[in-house]
Structure 1
Amino acid sequence: MKARIKSFFHRRINWVKRNRIKSAAGFILLAWYYFSLPQILFSEPYATVIESNQGELLGAKIATDGQWRFPAQDSVPDKFRECVVYFEDENFYHHPGFNPVSMYKAFVQNRKAGKVVRGGSTLTQQVIRLSRKNKKRTYFEKAVELILSTRLEFRASKDEILDMYAAHAPFGGNVVGLEMASRRYFGVQSHQLSWAESATLAVLPNAPSLIYPGKNQLKLKGKRDRLLLKLKNEKIIDGQTYELAISEPLPQKPFALPQTAPHLLQRVAKSQRGERVKTTIDVHLQQRVNQIAKYYYNQYRQNDVNNLAILVIDTKTRNVISYVGNAPTDAAHQKDVDIIGAPRSTGSILKPLLYAGMLDEGKLLPNTLVADVPTQISGYKPENFNLTFDGAVPAHRALSRSLNIPAVLMLKDFGVNKFYEELQHFRLRDISKKPDHYGLSLILGGAESNLWDLCRTYAAMTSTVNYFNANQGKYRTKEFAELNYKFCFDQDFGKESYQKTILGAGAIWLTYNAMEEVNRPEADEAWKFYDSSQKIAWKTGTSFGNRDAWAIGTNSRYVVGVWIGNASGEGRPTLTGVSSAAPVLFDVFNLLPRQKWFSPPLNDLEEAEVCALSGHLAQPDCPKIKQWIPLKGKITSVCPYHKLIHLDRTKQFRVNTSCESLENIVTESWFVLPPVMEWYYKSQHIDYRPLPPFKEGCANAQTVTMDFIYPKSTAKIYLTKDFNSVVQPVILKVAHSERESEIYWYLDRNFIGTTKTFHEMPVTPSSGTHEITVVDKKGNEIRRKIDIIR
């Protein structure tokens, strides 16, 4: 055997040596044949197609050449395969790319007719013709197609060739490919086509002009029914199936493609244009959220609010499960703008991040009293939404009520630079200017962010708590991963670590408990109508000028983010987070499965005794309660507001040994706030007890009992003019701990008047530096310098 093989190759080598020219020509011809077929047959652009996590079509963007050409599917459905093979090329699975018998019959028939009345092309040859842009039919072109079709048979399998045909065959108008044709003419995916529908599409590439609503119906039906009869005769379908198939109506009005998530389609097209992308979108949830968006758009547009956005995240996987980038508005109101990625003023939506950061750093405890008094810092004068003051408010209540002044004072204590760094760790990408640019306004909407980044941040915080509890106090190094909309994407959350990623689980859990209490920035009862029976940690925000209304909420599995407003930036008086965005938020949450509330991350918490009134770590003289605090909470200060005071036996007067014998002195712990805080605090808390006055005759009994509310230290005050160009006075304000006290006012040591009970004094000083002096009847005195600018 080996000898025969050796002899065979020896003879061939000798032949080549004797016939060098023929051999070279043969080799060149073989090389030409091998490389004659382009490596890529079809270079046409495809439509961008997105599907739900179950494979339903969500939307498509037409190809750049104006054709509706979907990317090829993995395989051609069996029904269409049988139909197209029996209609176009019965011997498809048996020929080498061309059919000599069919070619001869077509040649004879066309010659008799004097024109082309029949084609002899196989499906393989039709694929070649489609790839060559349907060049003019000539005998030379036919020869080229024949050669290339045989080459294609060597390169690709029969099924692959059929896939190419189905993906690029014309189906009338600008419809190309089976997948688009099945959507366009029957409104279903190709694998859902019936036998009649498959037969209809199988005959179309042979005569695509037959598809025209109301015309050519008899011709199209005749071609379809003849194909169905052939399938019956070939035992592909049975008689009953045949009878049912020929009774099916032909396609009439073309079906519109679904536009279930048009703005997600825009996002996908930016990076994956011309591809078919299976997304993480839950189509049923998306449709319901679209209905909610449409309902509220119809409500809000009556107040000239024309845009909204809604994003729903599965925090476990970080997958986007619903994406509504804008309201179903019109082009005049920028319906094509994807608001989810657009930078907008944050309003109060960053406050929970500051609160969590301060808890985590041991800067405060959940119940720590924060000042809520008139405040001016370097010319910046924050105000609460309802223009009132509480004097002092627990930090968690300041968050749940979204009070602005406490938030600014908390940021001042925490540090703008430190908070800015925290936001950079969260990758809030639109907060990109230097910290000094934002200043203290950073916490009240002085910066911009977008719904995508904010929802990603809250989703990561939620996942931090869940993972910590489920994995014995461990974190993941990449917990704050990017959101994902691609199906089967393997999210990388990094390695396990006992070191927190950005925030500790305990601080986040305490923050969510505060957010669950429901914030009411308008101080009304409207919130109760939007409350849900399920527990949700949520926060609203309203930007300056009522331009943006935010609501972001989370339970232990999902994050929902809502933005309401105008893409143009136009504000509307009634547009607020609690009245506009919150109703949408809770309606979306009601579509989601119910979840249990977060379990406390005990490994990152410690039970401590805190002062019941001040929220600080308890000192010996405080009434105490036990509370969960972050581990770093132990470094916060002890209560500064409880003091031991000496009273007489009646407890009506404070005394000392100069006016009362030692055996008659009673010592008691007393909760004492600074004068300005006390002034507002006691009006909100009827149980607050001001310090009793000193008993007459007590020596060294003077204490600081008053303070300036306005102006603050070294303030620069600009005097304004009214419409008549009259300079308006500045109103000086003082708080005194004794309600009925009378105080005396001096401007540059010149007496200007007295006040009683309510201590406000209007003055109109000249430009320059002035000194304000205030004295009460007991001789207590306070002074403040101000700079007046007219």
Structure 2
Amino acid sequence: MRGPGRRRGRGAGRSGAGWLFALTLLLWGAAFGRDSFDAWVAATDLPPLATTHSAEVVDRQGELLRAYTVGDGRWRLAVSLDAVDPDYIEMLIRYEDKRFREHGGVDAVAMARVFWQALRYQRFVAGGSTLTMQVARLLEEGPTGTLTGKLRQIRVALALEERLSKDQILQIYLDRAPFGGNIEGVRAASYAWFGKPPHRLTPAEAALLVALPQAPESRRPDRHPEAARAARDRVLARMEGAGILTEEARLAALTEPSPDRRRDFPMLAAHLADTARAADPLAELIQTTLDAGLQTRIEALAARAAREAGQRQQIAILVADHRTGEILASAGSAGYGAETREGYLDMTRALRSPGSTLKPLIYGLAFDRGLAHPETILSDRPMDFAGYRPQNFDGAFRGDIPAREALQLSLNLPAVALLDAMGPQHLYSALTRAGASPRLPIDEAPGLAIALGGLGLRLTDLTGIYAALAEGGHRVDLRFTPAPTPGFQPVELMGRAAAWQVADILSETPRPLGIRGAEIAFKTGTSYGHRDAWALGFDGAHVIGVWMGRADGTPVPGAFGGERAAPVLFAAFERIEGARTPLPPPPPETLILANASLPAPLRRFTPAGAAAPDPGPRIAFPPDGALVEGEALIARVSDGAAPFTWLANGAVIAQSRRRDVPLQLGRGFSALTVIDAEGRSTTAHIELR
């Protein structure tokens, strides 16, 4: 018998006798009791025909991203006839059952040949099993070495031919044929042995897949590569003899290496695939909006970036089309199985501190409420907000500065002052309206600290927020499902003029050294303790979010968003095929004016009750009336805004941004004056001896 999992040879004598006896009974019944025979076939109780397939997650074009084994641990991927190389189908039928399209389940010609060979050689040297009979055996999964088993197999084959079309029978074979180990079906076999779908098979590959089901274990390419190759070559020789292949084609196929190892099944977007499957655990096919090609390039970028960062650092990257909300690529880590980096964790959905990445939203809300304009002068000085005294990242203060520059420099004081003016709850509400799920410490209400990262957000949340900025201030339905999210409403976070102003500012933010990307608006962020490095950006079509850090939340000393995450962000944009889509022009209602031309309330922002009293510069040393030995001294100024100009008796003697400056005055009385950047001054009268 020639059937899945069976070998031809010595055992054919005993099994052949059983086949002969079974065939004799069937022929006798068909000849002398046709009606009864037909009724016997019609009454056949068929085994279940439905096949359980591996769950598959595919991209927007149907390309496989990730598959899962069925319940018993076998790989069995669904496949249709038109998704298999036609040459493989032709080889299979020609090699296994050349009269498949004509017979009714049992091939009488083949059986006669078996009988004749048995008489001639005094043993059964070949089987007469048809493809339909092999399908019957696959469906039954029962013994066929007994007379009862053989009769049952023939009966099921005849019944299958009565109830199914030839293509439907062939379909079951393509789904269930064994190909070694836990591999079932031609599609799973094509991925396992060749790493590609079955519509792209070469003649040599098709021949191997024809040969494997005859002896799936003894011909397993990873365990018995020589046996697999020899079986393949016999199929190729038979195909040349049958006129399916030319001699040249056969000789070329013989030079093709036969696989000697099993390949891994595709594992793209592994974390997102897990999420998609958890949302629909009964589905066999889950389509997503991802682009498999882009996903491959983004995962390679993530792996390289994490490797170069070292220190057990991880990375997550999210790419989406903000015009539709469709996620195009999602790398939850730099390796799903990277144990030392906790690669199994999906860092696109991990709650982390966003650092300074919420500042663009704060400025956009302030612009929209008329509190400020990109050219409004803000104050960057020490401030006290009811006991909360934030500092800039570098500990310095810039004094008066335009809002545009304050955002580009990511200064803390101006952002906190703006948030204080409109209330932290407004920012928190904007986050939720953008689709984010911010997490505050238990029993705490939103406070000013959320401006600088004092809450938990996910990379998916932040990417959605920046997508809204790119889409004129409207919430975007960020999703990986092809269909829109049920009940989604495009809520407005801010007017389109305010959103454009933020994008315009971010598009002019200085790039990291050696980085280009003029059409990209971006912002970086670093959380407290250097635990999280962020970079988010968008052009006219795409939005990308990047997170870097350690998955366990431990600090990474010296890791900054601008140095670590920003280069990855721009590299991710380069992985998107096609020309860069420019940012849109300003909406007609946008107020584009210099500071001097702005309405008076917009020229300068003065936070009510937030700024600490600032009397201007004060000479801390030497104090007024001091007597100093020598002709030189080191003067010190406190308060005021740098740079500072120093005068002695009305003559300029020094200019410096530093608060300590050496001065050469000469002996005698001097009127020492300092003037700060805002024109405020103070004088101390001293004597040098």
Q: Is the 8 A contact 1:310 1:324 kept in 2?
A: yes
The answer as to 2:534 corresponding to 1:576 is: no
> Which of 26, 34, 46 is matched with 1:37 structurally?
46
**TM-score, structure 2 as length reference:** 0.76
Counterparts of 1:677 and 1:289, CA distance in 2: 54
Q: Is the 8 A contact 1:404 1:444 kept in 2?
A: yes
Letter in 2 for 1:339: M
> Which of 71, 76, 101 is matched with 2:78 structurally?
71
> Which of 642, 645, 666 is matched with 1:684 structurally?
642
Residues 222, 571 of structure 1: alpha-carbon distance in 2 compared, 3 angstrom cutoff = closer
Counterparts of 1:176 and 1:81, CA distance in 2: 16
1:599 aligns with: 584
The answer as to 2:301 corresponding to 1:292 is: yes
SS of the counterpart of 1:312? strand
2:463 aligns with: 455
Q: Is the 8 A contact 1:372 1:677 kept in 2?
A: no
Letter in 2 for 1:558: H
2:682 aligns with: 739
Deviation at 1:594, TM superposition (A): 4.2
Q: Is the 8 A contact 1:167 1:177 kept in 2?
A: yes
Higher mean C-alpha displacement, 93-102 vs 199-208: 93-102
Counterparts of 1:232 and 1:81, CA distance in 2: 15
Deviation by residue 1:7-42 (Cα, 9 ceiling, x = unmatched): xxxxxxxxxxxxxxxxxxx99x97995793356432
Question: Where do 1:14-163 residues align within 5 Å?
Answer: 33=42, 36-37=45-46, 40-43=49-52, 46=54, 48-53=55-60, 57-73=64-80, 75=82, 76-103=84-111, 118-163=126-171
Counterparts of 1:212 and 1:607, CA distance in 2: 72
Deviation at 1:174, TM superposition (A): 1.8
Residues 590, 482 of structure 1: alpha-carbon distance in 2 compared, 3 angstrom cutoff = closer
Q: Is the 8 A contact 2:376 2:602 kept in 1?
A: no
1:270 aligns with: 278
Deviation at 1:540, TM superposition (A): 0.8
Counterparts of 1:607 and 1:228, CA distance in 2: 74
List alignment gaps of at least 5 residues for structure 1. Answer: 1-25, 466-474, 520-526, 619-635, 642-672, 689-734, 743-755, 757-790
1:541 aligns with: 525
1:761 aligns with: none
Q: Is the 8 A contact 1:67 1:175 kept in 2?
A: yes
Residues 395, 285 of structure 1: alpha-carbon distance in 2 compared, 3 angstrom cutoff = same
Letter in 1 for 2:247: G
SS of the counterpart of 2:447? helix
Counterparts of 2:615 and 2:184, CA distance in 1: 74
The answer as to 2:451 corresponding to 1:443 is: yes
Q: Is the 8 A contact 1:55 1:278 kept in 2?
A: yes
Q: Is the 8 A contact 1:305 1:572 kept in 2?
A: no
Residues 217, 541 of structure 1: alpha-carbon distance in 2 compared, 3 angstrom cutoff = closer
**TM-score, structure 1 as length reference:** 0.67
> Which of 333, 336, 340 is matched with 1:332 structurally?
340
2:503 aligns with: 512
Counterparts of 1:606 and 1:34, CA distance in 2: 83
Question: Where do 1:594-743 residues align within 5 Å?
Answer: 594-606=579-591, 610-611=595-596, 617-618=599-600, 676=614, 678-679=616-617, 683-684=641-642, 738-740=681-683
Deviation at 1:205, TM superposition (A): 0.5
2:625 aligns with: none
Deviation at 1:569, TM superposition (A): 0.5
Deviation at 1:103, TM superposition (A): 4.8
Deviation at 1:580, TM superposition (A): 1.4
SS of the counterpart of 1:684? coil
Deviation by residue 1:92-134 (Cα, 9 ceiling, x = unmatched): 1122333344456557878999998644332223223222234
The answer as to 2:319 corresponding to 1:312 is: yes
Counterparts of 1:104 and 1:511, CA distance in 2: 84
Deviation by residue 1:299-348 (Cα, 9 ceiling, x = unmatched): 221xx242111122222333333322112483132121111111111111
Deviation at 1:240, TM superposition (A): 2.5
Q: Is the 8 A contact 1:535 1:597 kept in 2?
A: yes
The answer as to 2:478 corresponding to 1:482 is: yes
Q: Is the 8 A contact 2:371 2:605 kept in 1?
A: no
**Who wins on radius of gyration, i.e. which is larger?**
1
Deviation at 1:77, TM superposition (A): 2.2
Counterparts of 1:114 and 1:199, CA distance in 2: 32
Counterparts of 1:332 and 1:215, CA distance in 2: 31
SS of the counterpart of 1:36? coil
Instruction: Work out the percentage of aligned pairs sharing the same amino acid.
Output: 31
Counterparts of 2:74 and 2:451, CA distance in 1: 49
Deviation at 1:182, TM superposition (A): 1.8
How many residue pairs end up in the alignment? 593
Deviation at 1:277, TM superposition (A): 4.6
The answer as to 2:205 corresponding to 1:231 is: no
Measured on the aligned residues, the alpha-carbon RMSD in Å equals: 3.9
Q: Is the 8 A contact 2:517 2:570 kept in 1?
A: no
Counterparts of 1:111 and 1:512, CA distance in 2: 88
Letter in 2 for 1:529: L
1:176 aligns with: 184
The answer as to 2:366 corresponding to 1:358 is: yes
List alignment gaps of at least 5 residues for structure 2. Answer: 1-34, 618-637, 647-677
Residues 243, 389 of structure 1: alpha-carbon distance in 2 compared, 3 angstrom cutoff = closer
Q: Is the 8 A contact 2:324 2:477 kept in 1?
A: no
Counterparts of 2:556 and 2:259, CA distance in 1: 48
Deviation by residue 1:134-169 (Cα, 9 ceiling, x = unmatched): 445433233333333344334433222212211211
Counterparts of 2:433 and 2:494, CA distance in 1: 10
Residues 398, 82 of structure 1: alpha-carbon distance in 2 compared, 3 angstrom cutoff = same
Counterparts of 1:433 and 1:117, CA distance in 2: 78
Counterparts of 2:440 and 2:47, CA distance in 1: 49
Residues 41, 600 of structure 1: alpha-carbon distance in 2 compared, 3 angstrom cutoff = closer
Deviation by residue 1:265-293 (Cα, 9 ceiling, x = unmatched): 33344335673555544444434333332
1:406 aligns with: 414
Residues 113, 611 of structure 1: alpha-carbon distance in 2 compared, 3 angstrom cutoff = farther
Counterparts of 2:392 and 2:80, CA distance in 1: 58
Residues 678, 490 of structure 1: alpha-carbon distance in 2 compared, 3 angstrom cutoff = farther
Residues 575, 246 of structure 1: alpha-carbon distance in 2 compared, 3 angstrom cutoff = closer
Q: Is the 8 A contact 2:290 2:329 kept in 1?
A: yes
Counterparts of 2:76 and 2:469, CA distance in 1: 42
SS of the counterpart of 1:676? coil
